[in-house]
Structure 1
Amino acid sequence: ELIQERTQAGLSAARARGRIGGRPKGLTAPAESTAMAAETLYREGRLSVSAIGKKLHISKGTLYRYLRSRGVEIGKQKKNLLTDTLQTTARNRSPITKTATVSLLFSIENNSKFVRGKKRAQANIEQYSLALYDNQQLAPGKYELRISYENEHELNETMHQLLSDMHREANLCNCNVDVNAWEEGTERRW
């Protein structure tokens, strides 16, 4: 009982000095970036919850916690939004969506011999940049992406965004990335 009283007195004194104890609220920086990727994949609606969990290497409970922290409504809302979107699209008769099959070949190198991070850079690129698209790994560093677009300008913009995201992820891990991307069956390269 004496220990408990002294502990409470110490905590009260610390609070009076402005010290706030306990675990900080919110997500850590890596968890926040994973939560952003999870939100994007969940809102697209292409993958199931368990598939998103496997892709991001997190459990279903963690995925739901991340989605709640990002303010995403879970469950029937998503299905209703998806059907409403499809009905609105059918009514508006928007332009036909095309799909491009893009081959992507990339290699990652450390910026200098004194740094590490090549493996982490590759994992981050696969987890955050390539996970946004329907992708299939053909070999280490070689992927086939299926990207939906309405016009060529949108496809070019999407590819430039993907490539800049890959360069940014590599740079955060003190690495360089060399990327070649081309659309199968055409002369288009990025």
Structure 2
Amino acid sequence: MRGKKRALENVERCCLEAFDAKRLAHGEYDLKVPYSSEKDLDKRVSDLLADITSEADDRHCFSESEARMEGTGRSW
């Protein structure tokens, strides 16, 4: 896919860096997302996923991103 490398670099720099992202196997990342309430966490994760989608779209790519909170069964 054209622009995939650049899209991934932009997502890592613009979206994930603020969450102290650590790249794991299979294209997954471990993030630290500070939050003050469940509602705040939902908003932060939703905003992050929207930003990732937007960055990919800007490079004529797409994102199949999802997030899950380890040990809780929560996912977005």
Partner of 2:70: 184
Asked if 1:154 is matched to 2:37, the reply is: no
Query: C-alpha distance in 1, partners of 2:66/2:14?
Result: 18
Q: How many residues align?
A: 76
In structure 2, list runs of 5 or more residues that go unmatched: none
**1:130 alignment partner, one of 16, 20, 30:** 16
State the 4+ residue runs in structure 1 displaced beyond 4 angstroms.
none
**2:51 alignment partner, one of 147, 156, 165:** 165
- 2:21–2:31 Cα contact (<8 Å) kept: yes
Task: State which structure, 1 or 2, has the greater radius of gyration over its C-alpha atoms.
Answer: 1
For residues 103-118 of structure 1, what are the structure 2 equivalents within 5 Å?
110=1, 116-118=2-4
Higher strand proportion: 1
- 2:3–2:60 Cα contact (<8 Å) kept: yes
Query: C-alpha distance in 1, partners of 2:34/2:66?
Result: 19
- 2:35–2:41 Cα contact (<8 Å) kept: yes
| Higher RCO (CA-CA < 8 Å; seq separation 6+) | 2
Normalising to structure 1: TM-score of the pair?
0.39
Normalising to structure 2: TM-score of the pair?
0.93
Query: C-alpha distance in 1, partners of 2:53/2:7?
Result: 10
CA shift for structure 1 position 139: 2.2
Instruction: Please give the root-mean-square deviation of Cα atoms over the aligned residues, in Å.
Output: 1.0
